């Protein structure tokens, strides 16, 4: 399998928080989600990948190029978008189009205009322009997405792109991810962070789970759904079932959680209902286990 990024022993130290060591590979031609609670280190990792902040150690290989290669070439291949303050708030669509055209090779004003209309945030060619400061957080994010998607890139790196979007816009974002990847004949990839995967499962092929600055699980979503099971049962056998489960919640009448699929037979013998988890359920279970282990 080809990789768009190879991350080796990356560390970033702050007062009170340390990221890493992080070792992972981002598969080419797929959409990868960084999943974790607020403060897990997702934004820090993205900032290191995109050069927004320096690293304390380790190395990154971009498109088979080391991180000491020509940075301008790598910069033009990556479309980065933060969740806030991506452009100055006194800018409007026309200024954004002009600036992006100067800053990046392969920026298409026509594509930007098309995306702005599709995302319903205005027209950069219109005489009357609304400044970003007058837009809602959701519309600001739509503008950011239009700007980054109007570039000819090989990798999108987006920090919490769905956090301020309404459900309909999140669904559209999933479609935009798929269109972007499909348009690259296997050469385009997406890496995005989220603390709530519920509306983004359709856009996620590969998942990397983070907690306390570390990677705690990773893999293709379909493989993870085979590795883990979702378990439901009645409270009379909860103590026996809990021993076989990775995460567990219960009350006086029933319990649920996740377990390794290798324990399916034993849990079934305890009259537990076993099924394949969706990505949201899997995320809650994995992150809940990490929280418990960290106590």
For 196, other C-beta atoms within 10 Å of its C-beta total 14
pLDDT at residue number 1: 58
pTM beyond 0.85: yes
Residue 44's closest CA among 241, 249, 212? 212
Summarised one tens digit per residue, pLDDT across range 225-260 is 999 999 999 988 888 999 999 999 988 899 999 999
Q: Which residues of the chain are in CATH 3.40.50.300 domains?
A: 3-212
Q: Which two tokens stand for residue 179?
A: 């269109």
pLDDT at residue number 85: 78
68-102 burial code (b ≥16 CB/10 A, e <16): eeeeeebbbbbbbbbbeebbeeebbbbbbbeebbe
CATH number of 3-212: 3.40.50.300
Summarised one tens digit per residue, pLDDT across range 18-60 is 998 999 999 999 999 999 998 899 999 999 999 888 899 999 9
**Residue 294: half-sphere exposure toward Cβ, Cα within 13 Å:** 13
Q: Which two tokens stand for residue 218?
A: 């990773």
């Amino acid at each position: 399998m080809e990789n768009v990024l190879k991350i080796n022993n990356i560390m970033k130290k702050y007062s009170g928080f340390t990221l890493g060591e992080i070792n992972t590979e981002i598969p080419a031609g797929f959409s990868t989600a960084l999943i974790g609670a607020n403060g897990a280190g997702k934004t820090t990792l993205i900032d290191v990948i995109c050069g927004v902040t320096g690293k304390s150690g380790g190395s990154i290989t971009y498109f088979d190029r080391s991180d000491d290669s020509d940075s301008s070439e790598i910069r033009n291949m990556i479309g980065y978008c933060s969740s806030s303050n991506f452009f100055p708030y006194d800018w409007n669509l026309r200024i954004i189009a002009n600036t992006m055209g100067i800053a990046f090779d392969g920026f298409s004003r026509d594509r930007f205009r098309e995306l702005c209309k599709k995302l319903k945030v205005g027209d950069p060619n219109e005489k009357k322009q609304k400044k970003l400061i007058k837009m809602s957080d959701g519309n600001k994010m739509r503008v950011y997405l239009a700007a980054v998607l109007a570039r000819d890139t090989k990798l999108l790196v987006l920090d919490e792109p769905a956090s301020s979007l309404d459900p309909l816009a999140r669904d559209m974002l999933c479609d935009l991810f798929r269109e972007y990847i499909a348009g690259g004949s296997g050469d385009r990839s997406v890496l995005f962070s989220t603390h709530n995967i519920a509306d983004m499962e359709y856009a996620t092929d590969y998942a990397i789970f983070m907690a306390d600055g570390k990677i705690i699980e990773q893999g293709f979503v379909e493989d993870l759904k085979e590795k883990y099971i979702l378990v439901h049962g009645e409270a009379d056998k909860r103590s026996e079932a809990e021993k076989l489960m990775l995460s567990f919640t219960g009350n006086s009448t029933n319990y649920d959680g996740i377990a390794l699929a290798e324990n399916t037979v034993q849990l079934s013998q305890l009259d537990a209902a076993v099924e394949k988890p969706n990505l949201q359920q899997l995320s809650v279970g994995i992150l809940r286990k990490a929280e418990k282990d960290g106590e």
